Amino acid sequence: MLPPQDAGPRLVAELEDQTAAIAAGIGAVGLVNVQYAVQDGRVFVLEANPRASRTVPFVAKATGVPLVRHAVRLMLGETLADLDLPDRVVPRHVAVKEAVLPFSRFTGADSVLGPEMRATGEVMGVAGSFPAAFAKAQRGAGAALPTSGTVAISTRNEDKPRAVALCR
């Protein structure tokens, strides 16, 4: 989602700094795809690839910055200064990217998830708030959000206090 909803300015700055260091360290020119995990305030790099990913069109659309055009110009020899990029783009809306998984569309598709991406596509929900953008993304991906019913939650005892707040 953009902008991040739970990441404070310090975490965002750390992710930006680490991404810049990784890109410089591998000599990337153009786009770099870095995936992070954050646990208990610690940042972990899951993978870094000097290539575009399916996130690029999402970020470009969410921010209005033509990332692919800029990356191509860089690869053709222009510099960052030549591109006249904005310092920072913070959208006034919230954009949520959601994967469209095959088992929601194709009967008999394996519903077991693993580390590999098995999405048959992605959708984007855009709204003025995270809940509304999330609901739009879910609807676009074909996932019906229930408006009533019962939910069963199972969690470790030490996670139960946080689980109650999360479920609300």
Residue range of the domain that includes 152: 93-168
Structure token digits, residue 110: 């394996």
pLDDT in tens, 8-55: 899 999 999 999 999 999 998 889 999 999 999 899 999 998 888 888
How many domains does the structure of the chain reveal? 2
84 shares a domain with 8? yes
Name which of 10, 13, 14, 47 is nearest 32 in CA terms.
47
Which of 49, 75, 90 delimits the end of a domain? 90
Query: In angstroms, rounded to a whole number, what is the distance separating the alpha carbons of residues 19 and 35?
Result: 9
57 shares a domain with 26? yes
6 shares a domain with 80? yes
pLDDT in tens, 69-125: 999 999 999 998 999 888 888 889 999 999 887 776 677 767 676 666 677 788 999
62 shares a domain with 39? yes
145 shares a domain with 108? yes
81 shares a domain with 4? yes
Give the single-character DSSP code of 27.
T
75 shares a domain with 15? yes
pLDDT in tens, 122-168: 899 999 999 999 999 999 988 877 788 888 888 889 988 888 888 87
128 shares a domain with 82? no
Which of 52, 67, 90 delimits the end of a domain? 90
Element (H, E) at 39: strand 33-39
The one-letter code for the residue type at 1 is M
Q: Across the chain, which distance is largest between two alpha carbons, in Å? A: 58
Provide the CA 156 distance to its chain's centre, in angstroms.
27
83 shares a domain with 12? yes
